[in-house]
């Protein structure tokens, strides 16, 4: 591993136990350790504590589970695999690095807590679920895939070209999104079944409410959709 510009041995910082394996368990606060699980293609990493920036960056397969919080660039430009964070995440979850054209290309990211700015920026495919709220610019310049958010602050879906953002609370809508209809999308029922297997529940009961559908962003102009849950009554 690297400390600044110097390559160092892992056991200089951690007590290392066990044999060579595809199962890795990191115990303790790794909140300042960056690039855990970078480019991983298989196996499983369990972090019992916090993790630093770029966790699972560009990963193509395998699974990462974190019991604590994670910093920025979680699953940035990942193309496969699954990440589950029990705590909160920073900004740029599944996003594209600065200057890069595409963010997350496939895979699944589930965050039980909150997340920061620019979640799913320029993502092309895959699923991001944030059960808590996210800050501004969720789905910024999104090109495809699905983002499910418990709540969101401003400018959700800004400059999106395609893809779907599902929000379970009322949010401010940009002027460049047009209201289309209020309905219960059929595909969301199937999607809810898949999300349930990941431990996430979204409302799909027609008696409980419906989704307001907005299309945009007209500034591009794009064909993305925002589905905002509206309980009945």
Partner 1 sequence: MGGKVSCTLGEVTNRADFIIFWGGNPAECHPRHFTKYSLTPKGRFVPDGRKGRTAVLVDIRETPSAKAADIFLQLRPSKDFEVLTTLRALIKDQRVDPAAVAETGLTLEQLQDLVDRMKKARFGAMFFGMGLSMTRGKHMNSGALLNLAAEMNAFTKFVCMPMRGHGNVTGADVVLRYTTGYPFGVNLSRGYPRYNPGEFSTVDLLVRGDNDAAFILGADPGATMPQPAIEHLASIPTIVLDPKVTHTSRLSRVHITTAVTGVSAPGTAYRMDEIPLPLAPALRSPYPTDEEVVRRIRRAVARRPAWQPVDENVRSAIA
Q: Report if residue 233 touches partner 1, rule: CB under 8 A.
A: no
**Applying CB under 8 A, which of residues 27, 154, 190, 208 lies at the interface with partner 1?**
154
* DSSP-derived pairing of the beta strands 108-111 and 82-85: parallel
Shortest Cβ 4–partner 1 spacing (Å): 5
Q: Is residue 177 close enough to count as binding partner 1 by CB under 8 A? A: yes
Stretch that binds partner 1, among 42-50, 55-63, 167-175, 196-204 (CB under 8 A): 167-175
Q: Quick one: which segment of 35-43, 160-168, 177-185, 190-198 binds partner 1 (CB under 8 A)?
A: 177-185
Q: Report yes or no: 151 and 166 within 8 Å, Cβ to Cβ.
A: no
The whole-angstrom separation of Cα 101 and Cα 97 is 8
Q: Does 232 bind partner 1 (CB under 8 A)?
A: no
Q: What distance in Å separates the CA atoms of residue 42 and residue 21, rounded to the nearest whole number?
A: 11
The window from 78-86, 124-132, 163-171, 216-224 that contacts partner 1 (CB under 8 A) reads 216-224
10 binds partner 1 (CB under 8 A): no
Q: Is 137 in the site for partner 1 (CB under 8 A)?
A: yes
- Least Cβ distance, residue 17 to partner 1 (angstroms): 19
To the nearest whole angstrom, how small is the minimum distance from the Cβ of residue 176 to partner 1?
5
Interface of this chain with partner 1, residues 89 to 108, rule: CB under 8 A: 91-92, 97-99
Q: Examine residue 2 and tell whether it contacts partner 1 (CB under 8 A).
A: yes
Q: Three-class SS string for the chain?
A: CEECCEECCHHHCCCCCCCCCCEEEEECCECCCCCCCCCCCCCEEEEECCECCCCCCCCCCCEEEECCCECCCCCCCCCCCEEEECCCECCCCCCCCCCCCCCCCCCEEEECCCECCCCCCCCCCCEEEEEEEECCCCCCCCCCCEEEEEEECCCCCCCCCCCEEEECCCCCCCCCCEEEEEECCHHHHHHHHHHHHCCCCCCCCCCCEEEEEEEECCCCCCCEEEEEEEECC
Nearer to partner 1, 145 or 222 (CB): 222
State the nearest-atom distance from the C-beta of 91 to partner 1, in Å. 7
Query: Could you tell me how many residues of this chain bind partner 1 (CB under 8 A)?
Result: 33
Q: Which residues form the interface with partner 1 (CB under 8 A)?
A: 2, 4-6, 8, 12, 32, 53, 72-73, 91-92, 97-99, 136-137, 140, 154-155, 158-159, 173-179, 217-219, 221
């Amino acid at each position: 591993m690297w400390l600044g510009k110097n390559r160092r041995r892992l056991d200089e910082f951690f007590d290392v136990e066990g044999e060579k394996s595809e199962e890795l368990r990191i115990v303790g606060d790794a909140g300042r350790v960056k690039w855990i699980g970078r480019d991983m293609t298989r196996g499983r990493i369990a972090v019992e504590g916090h993790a630093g920036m770029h966790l699972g960056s560009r990963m193509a397969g395998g699974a990462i589970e974190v019991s604590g919080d994670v910093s920025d660039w979680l699953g940035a430009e990942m193309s496969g695999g699954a990440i589950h964070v029990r705590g909160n995440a920073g900004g740029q979850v599944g996003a594209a690095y600065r200057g890069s054209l595409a963010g997350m290309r496939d895979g699944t990211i589930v965050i039980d807590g909150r997340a920061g700015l620019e979640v799913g920026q320029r993502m092309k495919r895959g699923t991001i679920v944030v059960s808590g709220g996210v800050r501004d610019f969720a789905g910024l310049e999104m090109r495809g895939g699905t983002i499910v958010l418990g709540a969101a602050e401003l400018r959700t879906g800004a400059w999106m070209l395609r893809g779907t953002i599902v929000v379970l609370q009322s949010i401010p809508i940009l002027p460049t999104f047009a209201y289309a209809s209020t309905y219960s999308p059929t595909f969301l029922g199937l999607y809810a079944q898949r999300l349930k297997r990941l431990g996430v529940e979204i409302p799909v009961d027609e008696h409980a409410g419906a989704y307001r559908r907005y299309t945009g962003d007209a500034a591009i102009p794009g064909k993305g959709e925002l589905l905002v849950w509206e309980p009945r009554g």
